[in-house]
Structure 1
Amino acid sequence: VEEERRRFLGGLLTLGGGTLLGAGGLAASLRSFTGATNYDYEGHGVATEHLLDAITPTGAHYVVSKNLIDPTVNIGLWRLEVRGLVERPATVTIDDLRRLPQQEEIVTLECIANGVGGSLMSTARWRGPRLADVVGLAGRTDPRATFLIVSAVDGYYDSLPASVVDDPGTMVALEMNGAPLPHRHGHPARILIPGRYGEKNMKWLSGIEVADHDHTGFYQRQGWSESAVVRTFSRFDNLEAGSRPTAGQAFEVRGHAYAGTRGIRSVQVSTDSGATWSEADLDAQVSPYAWRFFRWTWTPPAPGRYRMAVRAVDGTGAVQPDRYEDIVPRGASGYHRFDVDAR
């Protein structure tokens, strides 16, 4: 769906640059229309120069949206409705949220459409009240509650297990990297649930209903995972297909791994497509909810072709599966593999 939308806009751009070139007013209108959409930033991964940043700069953080044009919310008029199986439904303002105790967490977000070795993943410093405290503004919840049905300004909707309220890292984020949430990241408030794919981290939050039933979400109706728990991921950051390291010369291989709240226990690198493995060194953990960077010094013994592969072991001891799976329905899986030619 997202790719079809991007192709459509790309076709409009081609039309504007060709057929409409002589009609200056129409071409200008088309450029204005395109500038109002998220076409120029949506669906792009993190740029190469930021892949090794422990905290992704806000402007480089990946963005994926279901919208052609994202909402711009008037914070003075915005309200969050907390309702359902609660003691007293509450209409909450941004000031109400700011008065609650604030917590700060470094959390990695990954798009469920991130392919093997992809870069639709970023890490930021998020700040806001705990989700439990926000729901608590409506008083006690009914013991029959099993789900939170969440909704957004742009019409997006989803449901979450009510148990996520008790997860210590789950929050309603109001800030990103020390500044108020940008519009494209859900201003003024978004759900943040460490360890779940981006589709569960709803932007432009407008409603929380405490319920005793599930409500199939926007993307789940299209066949995507309901739980959206991230799968173990690893990739090379400074090597790619066609790289040409020098034989006999030490080269520091860099990359990162992520397994959500399970954490990363170790990363292993292979130069023979997984026939043998070597342990990489892990950088210090920046957060229990964030990716982990690794480094491994490799000296190619001779000129020739090497089949690189990387895998991670999560905090439970489970090894990242080798078998390739595409992104649908529950996120991609498999080793990041490619050939390099030592010269």
Structure 2
Amino acid sequence: MSVWLSGFSAGVLLSVLGLLARLWAGLPYPPQVLFDRLTRLMGTPEVFNWLHQWLGVGQGGKIGAFVGVLFLWLGGLTLLGLMAPLVGSLVLLVGLLVLMPVPWAIGYALFYLLIRLALQPAQKAHQAGRRQALNAIGAGSLLVTLAASGGLFRKVLQGTDQTATPALKAGSPLPEGVVSQEDLYYVSKNLEGFDPVLKEQDWTLKVSGRVNTPQTFTLADLKKLPQKQLELTLNCISNPVGGFLIGNAIWTGFTVRELLNRVGVQQGAKFIIWKAADGYIESLPLGEAYEEDVLLVHSINGEPLNARHGFPLRVLIPGRYGMKQARWITEIELSSTDVPSYWSQRGWDKEAFIKPSSRFDYPEEGKPVPAQQQVELRGVAFAGKTPITRVEVSVDGGKSWMETTLKERRSNHAWTLWSLPWTFEEGIHEVVVRAHAGGKVQTDQTADPLPSGSTGWHRFLVNVS
């Protein structure tokens, strides 16, 4: 029992040191590195579909994976406690060399060896005293770990996906159809607690590659460029039919074209590559980067981007799903060749053009609707750069259709709000909505989000009583 407890105590102490090094200095943390490896697997089509079938859209799969990684890490270190300190440290070193650079792997192995050697006197003490000492070490170390990671786990548990132009200033009432930063959906390749948290005073944007004048900009430098506000709807490629991984906001920043003009583009440059602080990488043909509304933004709805939405700088590209629009940008490189992007390497569509979609916001699936009382059917429709020209609703499963009223958009890149007053008869009704974009009706063929975005009509049964 004491050997097991000694191994567990050494594992927890090493975890405390690693977690503090990660939080204070940004050094590699083995459970996080293991988790990153797992999330790459989770992004592949087969695993993605299985996770989302059982755990839904959101951070549920990531939370499960991270808990599993913690058990794996602490369990493995506990087993190493059965070995002599030097042997256990060498085994740990071999395992860490697979996960991280050599200096950090050696550092963790050395700290583990020192912890094991420090615990040896406790193992040789009287059995009762030994148990008390090891119990105290284990419990105290675990408490320190939980305290140090408390904020991180709070962010994990709060990190589920959600939703719910004139110049806009922070604190101003939001126009109809604009989602607050707090309510804008959130999706990340990372567990939220491991998203980059960047400080403005330490952050710079490097522009390199096939440019005439490679430069490094501070956020203050970038805010001196001509600024532009744009109302634009973000849409996640993993959004299911009728889902809420979509949101509309008013963004402030500057055109990528303006930045490229400052550095000068060399002949032969064909692609612009975005590199983010978390290792995320995406690209865009250079010609599209020159389009008027392709922006680098630092503010949303008149306030600075928060950490989850990409502070201090993110990309906005009209007509593309959110996977193309990298957050936490630290470098822009111009290249003559394209690079595999983070998600396209895992089976997702490289181009990620937005497909037409529409949904009900009212009625809500699973909630009753009053009979013989006029209600307002309403929702949103979106097709990226293609304008929504008509939205139709059926209350009889698609046998007949009624045209809705469309709210005039303030921006060509914003979603379209639709509504229809209606009085239901008592009974069970199947409601369906479909949009027309660019003169073509939205397809009724159902397809999963993988690999290029979901398709199909939003439909469900409503109990009217």
Tell me the TM-score normalized by structure 2.
0.67
Task: Pick from 214, 218, 224 the counterpart of residue 99 of structure 1.
Answer: 224
Distance 1:13 1:207 in 2: 32
Output aligned runs, 1:256-267, within 5 Å.
256-267=380-391
Output aligned runs, 1:98-177, within 5 Å.
98-139=223-264, 141-177=265-301
CA contact (8 A) 1:238 1:254 kept: yes
CA contact (8 A) 2:163 2:185 kept: yes
Distance 2:417 2:139 in 1: 51
Tell me the TM-score normalized by structure 1.
0.89
Distance 1:155 1:294 in 2: 39
Give 2:159's aligned residue: 42
Higher strand proportion (structure 1 or 2): 1
State the secondary structure of the residue aligned to 1:287. Answer: coil
Deviates more, 1:177-186 or 1:240-249: 240-249
Shift of 1:307: 0.9
> Taking structure 1 as reference, are residues 28 and 99 closer, same or farther at Cα in structure 2, changes over 3 Å only?
same
Q: Does 1:340 align with 2:452?
A: no
CA contact (8 A) 1:150 1:158 kept: yes
Distance 1:53 1:120 in 2: 18
Aligned length: 329
CA contact (8 A) 1:258 1:291 kept: yes
Q: Does 1:57 align with 2:174?
A: no
Give 1:86's aligned residue: 211
Task: Pick from 196, 199, 217 the counterpart of residue 74 of structure 1.
Answer: 199
> Taking structure 1 as reference, are residues 276 and 147 closer, same or farther at Cα in structure 2, changes over 3 Å only?
same
Output aligned runs, 1:1-343, within 5 Å.
1=42, 3-9=60-66, 26=142, 29-30=145-146, 32-36=148-152, 38-47=155-164, 54-68=177-191, 69-139=194-264, 141-300=265-424, 302-314=425-437, 316-343=438-465
Unaligned runs of 5+ in 1: 15-21
Shift of 1:111: 1.1
> Taking structure 1 as reference, are residues 74 and 313 closer, same or farther at Cα in structure 2, changes over 3 Å only?
same
Shift of 1:214: 1.1
> Taking structure 1 as reference, are residues 342 and 13 closer, same or farther at Cα in structure 2, changes over 3 Å only?
farther
| RMSD across aligned positions (CA) | 2.3
Distance 1:10 1:237 in 2: 34
Shift of 1:179: 1.3
> Taking structure 1 as reference, are residues 89 and 329 closer, same or farther at Cα in structure 2, changes over 3 Å only?
same
Distance 1:183 1:23 in 2: 33
> Taking structure 1 as reference, are residues 238 and 23 closer, same or farther at Cα in structure 2, changes over 3 Å only?
farther
> Taking structure 1 as reference, are residues 237 and 10 closer, same or farther at Cα in structure 2, changes over 3 Å only?
farther
Distance 2:441 2:393 in 1: 13
CA contact (8 A) 2:257 2:289 kept: yes
- Please say which structure displays the higher CA radius of gyration: 2
Distance 2:163 2:254 in 1: 28
State the secondary structure of the residue aligned to 1:231. Answer: coil
> Taking structure 1 as reference, are residues 162 and 308 closer, same or farther at Cα in structure 2, changes over 3 Å only?
same
Letter in 2 for 1:40: L
User: Which string of whole-angstrom CA distances, capped at 9 and with x for unpartnered residues, describes residues 55-87 of structure 1?
Assistant: 111111111111231111121221211122222
Shift of 1:182: 1.0
* Greater RCO structure (CA 8 Å; 6+ sep): 1
Shift of 1:241: 2.6
Unaligned runs of 5+ in 2: 1-41, 43-58, 72-137, 165-174
> Taking structure 1 as reference, are residues 338 and 27 closer, same or farther at Cα in structure 2, changes over 3 Å only?
farther
CA contact (8 A) 1:43 1:65 kept: no
Distance 1:287 1:254 in 2: 20
State the secondary structure of the residue aligned to 2:221. Answer: helix
Shift of 1:104: 0.3
Distance 1:163 1:102 in 2: 21
